[in-house]
Amino acid sequence: MQHIASRILDRELKKGSAELLILSLVEDRPRHGYDLSKLIESRSGGVLTFRVASLYPLLYRLEKRGWIQGRWIEKAGQRRRRYYRLTAAGAQVLASQRNTWKEFVEAINRIAGVEHA
């Protein structure tokens, strides 16, 4: 039972954090989907992974909301790729989400007492 409960938590956490993760990764420079998925995987030490079938619809939704903007870029000898960059609106959302997340993590920590030093 506990196992299942932790999987649900996992999923909900990911869902809640996914937007934040993507917005932060495209903050400093435009990135394409494969790049994003590899970065999330490697920086989280393999804890967080996205399936293809959820990553790209998410990117599509973010773009539709106007938070990121995608552009096809051709490079000689490579497949063309769609690079996403953060928009001004996206930057605002990112700032507020970061804040919310920070407050949320702090609150959880205070309650659950998993704070480290």
Partner 1 sequence: MPEWPRRIREEMRQHLDDEYDAMRARGVPHDEAMRRLARDVDELASMRTRPADAVATDTRYALRALRKSPGFTIVVMLTLALGIGATTAIFTVVDAVMLRPYPYADMNRIVGLAEVTRKGQTMSIAWPNFQDWREQNQVFEHLAIYRGMVVNLTGSDRPERLIASLASSDLFKALGMPAIVGRTFAADEDKPGAPRVAVVSERFWRSHLNADPAAIGSSLTLNGEPHTIVGVMPAGMRFPSRLTDVWLPLGLFVPAFPAERGAHPGLFGVAKLKPGVSVERASADMDAIARRLEQQYPMSNTDHTVAVQAYYEQIVQNVRPALLTLACAVAFVLLIACANLANLMLARADGRQREIAIREALGASRWRIFQQLLTESILMALGGGVLGALLARWAVAAFVATRPTTVPRIDLIAVDARVLAFAIVVSIVTGIAFGLAPALRASSLDLLASLKDAAHGSAGTGRRMRSALVVGEVAMAIVLLVGAGLTIRSFAALTALDLGFDPSRVVTMRVSVPTARYPEVARWIAFHRDILGRAGAIPGVDAVGLNSATPLEGGGSESEVRYEGQPPPRSASEEATTCLFQATTPDYFRAMGIAIVRGRTFTDRDDAAGAPVAIVEDALARKFFPDADPIGKRIAFEFTGGHGPAARPIWREIVGVVRHVRHYGLVREPDNLEVYAPLEQLPIWFRERRPNMTLFVRTPLAPEQLAASIRQAVSSVDPQIPIFSVLTMEEYVGQATEQPRLNMTLLAVFGGLALVLASVGIYGVLSYIVGRRTQEIGIRLALGATRGDVMRLVVGHGMRLAIAGILIGLAAAWAVTRSLTSLLYGISPHDPATFAAIAAMLAAVALAASYVPGRRATRVDPMLALRAE
What would the x/- binding string for partner 1 be over residues 60 to 79, using CB under 8 A? x-------------x--xxx
Does 26 bind partner 1 (CB under 8 A)? Our answer is no
**Directed axis angle between helix 88-112 and helix 2-25, to 10°?**
150
- Select from 11-19, 31-39, 40-48, 109-117 the region that touches partner 1 (CB under 8 A): 31-39
Residue 59, class by beta-carbon neighbours within 10 Å (0-12 exposed, 13-18 middle, 19+ buried)?
buried
- State the nearest-atom distance from the C-beta of 54 to partner 1, in Å: 9
Provide the token pair at 93.
């959302």
- Select from 1-9, 51-59, 87-95, 109-117 the region that touches partner 1 (CB under 8 A): 51-59
The footprint of partner 1 on this chain (CB under 8 A) covers a number of residues equal to: 19
Residue 84 near residue 26 (C-beta atoms within 8 A): yes
- State the nearest-atom distance from the C-beta of 10 to partner 1, in Å: 18
Closest to 70 measured CA to CA, from 108, 28, 32: 32
Does 37 bind partner 1 (CB under 8 A)? Our answer is yes
Does 57 bind partner 1 (CB under 8 A)? Our answer is yes
Contacts of 9 (CB under 8 A, 6+ apart): none
Does 46 bind partner 1 (CB under 8 A)? Our answer is no
